[in-house]
Amino acid sequence: MRNILITGGAGFIGSNFVRYWTGRHPQDRVVNLDALTYAACLDNVASVADAPGYTFVQGDIRDAALLETVFAEHAPDAVMHLAAESHVDRSIVRPDAFIQTNIVGTFNLLELARANQERLRRFHHISTDEVFGSLGTEGSFTEETAYRPNSPYSASKAG
């Protein structure tokens, strides 16, 4: 049995992962932590809301004290970090929210992962290919491609 913390689990990608994991691994405990901002919807995970191992926690990864409580109460041994401010246009209008969530919030999670490293076996951070800049009409990015963010959004994800 695993205890998995999924951040951003009511968003598009996160909710798909929550549904996939709870269906595929019903013996596992899944904690879905989501701030329920513009990009999230609890209807996305309604089909698993009553699953035996599923717990929803409304909260923000920028809140270090809340994260400490979640780690203490649910003892995750894996983190799937999907929570993020997104959309390039929004980042141009209000880049501070992107810095706080995508950099500071991720830092908060990483600090807790480090403090709980004897228990935590996996930490997956999902980012975006936009950290590499514009692809153009041909080619592909690889792990060796240099970062060339072109917006506050992609810069905060690169951070």
- Catalytic pick among 34, 60, 85, 130: 130
SS3 content of the chain, % helix, strand, coil (to 5): 45, 15, 40
Any catalytic annotation for residue 129? Answer: yes
What the block records as the tokens of 119 is 């228990």
Measure Cα distances from 107 to 47, 77, 101, 136 in Å. Answer: 31, 18, 9, 32
Nearest CA among 71, 80, 127 for reference residue 103: 127
- Catalytic pick among 34, 54, 85, 153: 153
- Catalytic pick among 43, 73, 96, 129: 129
Cross-strand pairs, 7 = 33, 81
Question: What's the CA gap between 159 and 152, in Å, rounded?
Answer: 10
Q: Please identify every residue annotated as catalytic.
A: 129-130, 153
